[in-house]
Amino acid sequence: MKLFSIRKNQKPLFQGFTLIELLVVIAIIALLLSILIPSLRAAKEIASGSVCLTNLKNLGTAWLTYANEYKGLLVGGSNYYNGSRPTPYRWVEVPLRKDTDNPETTAPAPESEYSLTTRKNGIRAGRLFPYVDDEDVYHCPGDKNIAKYAEPRATFRSYAITGLMNGEDFISRSGGIYTAIAQYRTAVVSPSGLTKQLFVAVKLDQIHNPAYKHVFVEEDAAARGQTVNLGGFVLLNGSTYTWWDVPAYFHNKTSTIGFADGHAERHRWEDPDTINLAQNGVADPRPAENEDLHYMVRGYLPR
């Protein structure tokens, strides 16, 4: 006995889509993707920002631990080892052939030998690495330069220490690399034109209000044409109140910043000129009115 039968000329239960129906389905899928992709991108950026927060908290803990173990002395915030502004006891080194090399006595790797290995050797040779013991803590997952650029521009380290936290922002030392700073830099520190000598903190107790003072900042060296993140993060270019170095554009409209008390925050940039500068390298046409620059300068000066 037949349970089912199909009458002559009866239409099947399922038919193929017409061309118009297919076009409608494709249009709906395209619309859904246009809605979902920005949301997925935002979620990815939030996730990478969370990893960055953890990275900078770990680096902040290492930075404080080093200072406490060395009687309050700050680790060197630059990787300059020669010239007029050398830094002793550097937190990281330039790329090295071996992680036991010291660029003061052994030639660093030339650009022709730059690789992920030589870059990580420079990190491992730095004074903070024993307190961190993980090269990936120095890298933001939102930083795509390793895949974006070929060597010698495939930078790995995503963070810099600000120039006044025992960094490079001074003019000269009294003698060699292990002597005191002899001459500080003078810069315009406010939109009103106030000029001030930029004091470089070399000890922890020289930092006033450490919960508001920046130590670690995301910086994109490759976007500025550099082959390695040299020096530190420096603000206040010359005799004008303006940006010098620029925060990285790893998290869309936010950056992660580590503070002198060890905590880290995600900071949202409010001025479109800041975003245009960070993303496209377009100079800020009105820095005196830029609240983002005001915020960065307040956190830049240790006292």
Q: Tens digit of pLDDT for each residue in 128-150?
A: 999 999 999 999 999 999 999 99
**Using CA atoms, how far apart are residues 206 and 102, in angstroms rounded to an integer?**
29
Are 202 and 170 within 8 A, CB to CB?
no
Segment 242-269 mean pLDDT: 94
The alpha carbons of the chain give a radius of gyration, in whole angstroms, of 26
Strand ranges (E), the chain: 159-161, 172-173, 181-183, 185-188, 195-198, 214-218, 254-259, 264-268
**Using CA atoms, how far apart are residues 29 and 96, in angstroms rounded to an integer?**
50
**Using CA atoms, how far apart are residues 34 and 76, in angstroms rounded to an integer?**
47
Segment 165-177 mean pLDDT: 96
In tens, the pLDDT along 12-33 reads 544 566 777 677 777 777 777 6
Segment 232-244 mean pLDDT: 92
Q: For position 9, what pLDDT does the model report?
A: 56
Segment 188-195 mean pLDDT: 94
Could you tell me how far CA 243 lies from the centroid of its own chain? Answer: 16
Task: Give residue limits of the domains in the chain.
Answer: 29-300
Q: For position 12, what pLDDT does the model report?
A: 52
Query: What is the value of pTM for the model shown?
Result: 0.85
| pLDDT for 114 beyond 80 | yes
Q: For position 39, what pLDDT does the model report?
A: 52
Instruction: Return the percentage of the chain with pLDDT > 70, whole number.
Output: 88
Q: For position 37, what pLDDT does the model report?
A: 58
**Using CA atoms, how far apart are residues 198 and 179, in angstroms rounded to an integer?**
18
Could you tell me how far CA 11 lies from the centroid of its own chain? Answer: 64
Q: For position 220, what pLDDT does the model report?
A: 94
Q: For position 28, what pLDDT does the model report?
A: 76
Are 111 and 119 within 8 A, CB to CB?
no
| pLDDT for 299 beyond 90 | yes
Average pLDDT of the chain is 90
pLDDT category, 2, cuts 50, 70, 90?
Answer: very low
**Using CA atoms, how far apart are residues 284 and 70, in angstroms rounded to an integer?**
40
Q: For position 237, what pLDDT does the model report?
A: 87
| pLDDT for 1 beyond 50 | no
Q: List the helix and strand counts (H, then E) for the chain.
A: 6, 8
Segment 180-199 mean pLDDT: 95
Instruction: Return the percentage of the chain with pLDDT > 90, whole number.
Output: 79
Segment 168-193 mean pLDDT: 95
| pLDDT for 166 beyond 50 | yes
| pLDDT for 3 beyond 50 | no
